[in-house]
Structure 1
């Protein structure tokens, strides 16, 4: 019964999102934002999976098309027009992710001669690597749902473009890293600092794309072996532990996806997987749950809902290894069992987070509306996370 109620509420939220952001209303100017839309595609696919109603798949397809034609092209107020890749209209339509995808911020990115303002930079456009990986996943999921290789090809082309543009050497002949933020045309760095989880997210996503390619043996799809090799090196000896709720959720989600890849023999680095699980559990234990007793004005819904989605991922990971206990000779499941049991102790936090923000949504509080679009889609994902968490 609870699952049905969650699906019904997720459907209500996603219909509201589609209308408010100009996806389902022709007379409304579309409002596209890459992170939000990546979650939304997965939500539409999950609702299609549960209801078998074609309207949800139609919305997923329409959203992919809108994102590519809006965020894959220069802003209307930019000096340049057309595809970010510089390809012709026709060729750009065939390869809409070759130039990456803009974040979708309201403010244009800063000019090359404009000094950095850390506060304003959060409001400015450009490209984020960890937003691009979310979109790669969305394309991977819709490819599996529709059986169409074209979506997967776009995701793999985006993986190659993002890796080529964001990777840099920290020093002459030094270790490779990923830049935090690039300009919309991917020609200059806007924030050169390094994202803690970006290489891990990129690695897991590239492995997932390659795994999905197995379903299209007759297609010539991009090879991501170089990207996987270099991202693996970036993850070497990296500490993934964090006190940020959204960051903890991210590690838990990556661990869930990686567990499924291991079961499908599509991820070989068991030591890295074990470090993900270890650092995620350590982060959960350090985080506790004191924030749950705070008032809404001191909290951010989408960050907490990211944790809630990750906790759902840890439960899925536990179920996967219950179903496949003999993977890698059974030693991995034996190592995982006590750690997953410890993680599941925190699972009740997910329900508390959802109930709190469902009530804030019902009240229409300013704390909910201030980040309305992203709050909506992440609440819907937490309520019905199947397609977002599922691997290839």
Structure 2
């Protein structure tokens, strides 16, 4: 027996092992998502809203169910989110939509976060710790929901979902951005979007707004929805000007994962034919999707090196770790894995080099997912206190391609 024979056997065994791992991962992801649905009441057969919704978690849940080929469950969550978070947080007027919204246009008033406590009133003193538990509207949660709606629009061939996402994008841009010569953004707004609750700008909010708006524009062109609803050209230009410093680097696990996911979304935009970000902006430092992708991967690599070498402690107890933040990075690394394996990668030579360097840190993803798939680690206090968001993001991290560029075909759903 020669070396070629043994190499062939090894490849067969490796392939079988990979398939078994994928099947087991999909099985656990499905269990986690089914438990989530039962806990939160978002079942397809329900005619009224279940328990309170949380926008970030439900955004990932929609994409998870589409990846699991359960479109009815994805659409049920969309329905419940709009029934609950697009309406006033009021016992007196529980059916009243946020300003401007309606059954036909549920996102025109934005969407509440879904926090446990009411929003801070103008007369209430600011309490930084308490603010985390108060309701309102977060821009970065709204962009996640835009993305989920757009993803569903493409998977299910439903242009209305893209329209709702574009209407939400236009509302968010109008209410969260301010300033004449130099635009800035508020991080958190009141439920009715009339006043800022936290005035500081989120590190990646303009970036998320830019990429999401471009994505919505491309989908509108593809599904034939561009004739109706906001075109988002002004939205794209404003956010583009706000990201010109290119200072995206972060060592926060969740922020890093978001950067990597954004890189995947921009690479997909390039393959969808989007080269110029906005007409008449060629003089800008970041004017093309290729230049943006280069910058995203460069910043991601810098942050990932620092995180892996200085901040990531794989031996730390589950009681001192926040699963959803680590899993955000694992989800981003899944996107890197998909890009690295993509034979038609659309990035520049510099992007390819950065991608190869980032792929070398895939062991971080493996360690994170491996740690949180162990039952004993999901029984810790920090996990159970945030079970919904942790379970849903763990499911996302275990499902290849949930947030990667490839889209399931209609017949596969």
Fold shared per TM-score above 0.5: yes
Q: Which residue of 1 aligns with 2:35?
A: 16
Do the aligned partners of 1:292 and 1:352 also contact (CA within 8 Å) in 2?
A: yes
Describe how 1:214-293 pairs up with structure 2 within 5 A.
214-217=221-224, 220-221=227-228, 222-268=230-276, 269=288, 270-288=290-308, 290-293=312-315
Deviations along 1:104-151, whole A, 9 cap, x unmatched?
Answer: 001000111111111100000000000000000110011111111111
Q: Which residue of 2 aligns with 1:194?
A: 201
Name which of 337, 348, 352 aligns with 2:363. Answer: 348
Do the aligned partners of 1:291 and 1:299 also contact (CA within 8 Å) in 2?
A: no
CA distance in 2, matches of 1:334, 1:114: 53
More helix by share: 1
Deviation at 1:318, TM superposition (A): 2.1
TM-score, normalised with respect to structure 1: 0.90
CA distance in 2, matches of 1:150, 1:267: 26
**Are 1:63 and 2:77 matched, yes or no?**
yes
CA distance in 1, matches of 2:402, 2:103: 26
Go from structure 1 to structure 2 and tell me whether the alpha carbon gap of 1:212 and 1:292 turns closer, same or farther (over 3 Å shift). Answer: same
Deviation at 1:80, TM superposition (A): 8.1
Do the aligned partners of 2:261 and 2:403 also contact (CA within 8 Å) in 1?
A: no
Q: Which residue of 2 aligns with 1:150?
A: 160
Q: Which residue of 2 aligns with 1:166?
A: 176
CA distance in 2, matches of 1:80, 1:379: 32
TM-score, normalised with respect to structure 2: 0.86
Deviation at 1:385, TM superposition (A): 4.2
Deviation at 1:76, TM superposition (A): 2.9
Deviation at 1:317, TM superposition (A): 2.1
CA distance in 1, matches of 2:257, 2:117: 28
Name which of 371, 380, 384 aligns with 1:369. Answer: 384
Structure 2 segments unaligned to the other structure (5+ residues): 1-19, 277-287, 408-413
Q: Which residue of 2 aligns with 1:316?
A: 338
Calculate the aligned-residue CA RMSD, in Å. Answer: 1.9
Deviations along 1:341-369, whole A, 9 cap, x unmatched?
Answer: 11011112111111111114675232321
Equivalent pairs counted in the alignment come to 371
Do the aligned partners of 1:73 and 1:83 also contact (CA within 8 Å) in 2?
A: yes
Larger relative contact order (CA 8 Å, sep ≥ 6): 1
Go from structure 1 to structure 2 and tell me whether the alpha carbon gap of 1:177 and 1:319 turns closer, same or farther (over 3 Å shift). Answer: farther
Deviation at 1:336, TM superposition (A): 2.1
Structure 1 segments unaligned to the other structure (5+ residues): 49-55
Do the aligned partners of 1:308 and 1:349 also contact (CA within 8 Å) in 2?
A: yes
Go from structure 1 to structure 2 and tell me whether the alpha carbon gap of 1:57 and 1:81 turns closer, same or farther (over 3 Å shift). Answer: closer
Do the aligned partners of 2:100 and 2:108 also contact (CA within 8 Å) in 1?
A: no
Name which of 24, 40, 46 aligns with 2:67. Answer: 46
CA distance in 2, matches of 1:387, 1:154: 21
